[in-house]
Amino acid sequence: MMNAPCAVWVTAIQTVSFKWLMRALLQSAFVLHRRPYRDSSLLLEVLTREHGRLGLVARGAGSSRSRLKGLLQAFTPLLLSWTGDGDLVTLSGGEEIGLPIPLLHNRALAGLYVNELLVRLLPRCDPQPGLFAAYEVLLTDLAAADDAEPPLRRFEKRLLEELGYGLSLDREADSGAPIVAETHYRYVLDRGPLTVNATQTGVPISGRGLLALRDGMFNDPDVLKEVKRLTRAALAEQLQGRALKTRELYRVKREA
pLDDT tens digits for range 142-170: 999 999 999 999 999 999 999 999 999 99
183 DSSP assignment: S
Pairwise CA distance, residues 36 & 157, whole Å: 32
Comparing C-alpha atoms, which of 153, 140, 152, 138 is closest to residue 102? 140
Bridge partners (DSSP) of residue 206 are 184
Phi, psi torsion values for 99, nearest 5 degrees:
-70, 155
Average pLDDT of the chain is 89
Task: Return residue ranges of the chain for CATH 1.20.1440.120.
Answer: 106-255
188 by DSSP, 3-state: which?
Answer: strand
CATH 1.20.1440.120 fits 106-255, yes or no: yes
Contact 208, 193 (CB under 8 A): no
Above 80 in pLDDT, residue 10?
no
Tell which CATH classification among 2.40.50.140, 3.90.245.10, 2.60.120.10, 3.40.50.300 matches the domain 4-96. 2.40.50.140
Note the Cα 8 to chain centre separation in Å: 23
Q: In the prediction, which pLDDT does 199 show? A: 79
pTM: 0.88
Q: Which of 48-57, 68-77, 175-184, 246-255 has the lowest mean pLDDT?
A: 246-255
Edge-to-edge strand order for the sheet containing 203-206? 192-195, 184-188, 203-206
Comparing C-alpha atoms, which of 186, 178, 129, 180 is closest to residue 158? 129
